[in-house]
């Protein structure tokens, strides 16, 4: 009986050590994709007739510009061939009602979303 109790005690005491030994030498590598869109702003914001979406691209790439209402319905979409450096997208409200919208710029590797207010 004492041997069984002793073996059980040893198992409980050595289990954390065995678990640690299993992870020794393991290296965690995170795949970090570099950002290609920076300095994303809308000016003026809020606006009443038109605004301009400004952004900087670190490379030439296709960017999809979308505007969605707060229910998630896409109300505007345009594909832009962005050049390396500063870019801008003119945006007119057309028949959109006053309120808050979410605009996003999407590339093959990232999505940047921000708020847009029409008054």
Domain harbouring 55, CATH code: 2.60.40.10
Average pLDDT, the chain: 87
What integer pLDDT is reported at residue 15 of this predicted model?
55
Mean pLDDT (whole number) for 51-62: 97
What integer pLDDT is reported at residue 118 of this predicted model?
97
Instruction: Record the pTM.
Output: 0.73
> pLDDT > 90: what percent of the chain?
71
Structural domain includes residue 111: yes
Indicate the number of domains in the chain.
1
Tens digits of per-residue pLDDT, 90-112?
Answer: 999 999 999 999 999 999 999 99
Q: Domain residues for 41?
A: 37-118
Structural domain includes residue 17: no
Structural domain includes residue 30: no
Structural domain includes residue 13: no
Mean pLDDT (whole number) for 27-34: 75
What integer pLDDT is reported at residue 106 of this predicted model?
97
pLDDT: which is higher, 6 or 43: 43
Place of tokens 């393991």: 26
pLDDT over 80 (residue 12):
no
Rounded alpha-carbon distances, angstroms, from residue 81 to 1, 42, 71, 86: 78, 18, 28, 12
Find all residues with CB under 8 Å of 62, minimum gap 6, and list them: 79, 80, 81, 82, 107, 108
What integer pLDDT is reported at residue 9 of this predicted model?
56
Structural domain includes residue 49: yes
């Amino acid at each position: 009986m004492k041997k069984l109790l002793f073996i059980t005690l040893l198992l409980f005491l050595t289990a954390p050590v065995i678990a640690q030994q299993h992870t020794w030498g393991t290296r965690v590598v995170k795949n970090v994709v570099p950002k290609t869109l920076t300095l994303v702003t809308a000016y003026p914001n809020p606006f009443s007739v038109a605004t301009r979406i400004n952004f900087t691209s670190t490379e030439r790439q296709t960017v999809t510009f979308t505007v969605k209402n707060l229910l998630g319905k896409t109300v505007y979409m345009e594909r832009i061939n962005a050049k390396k450096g500063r870019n801008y997208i003119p945006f007119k409200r057309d028949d959109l009602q006053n309120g808050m919208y979410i605009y996003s710029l999407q590339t093959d590797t990232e999505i940047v979303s921000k708020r847009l207010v029409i008054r």
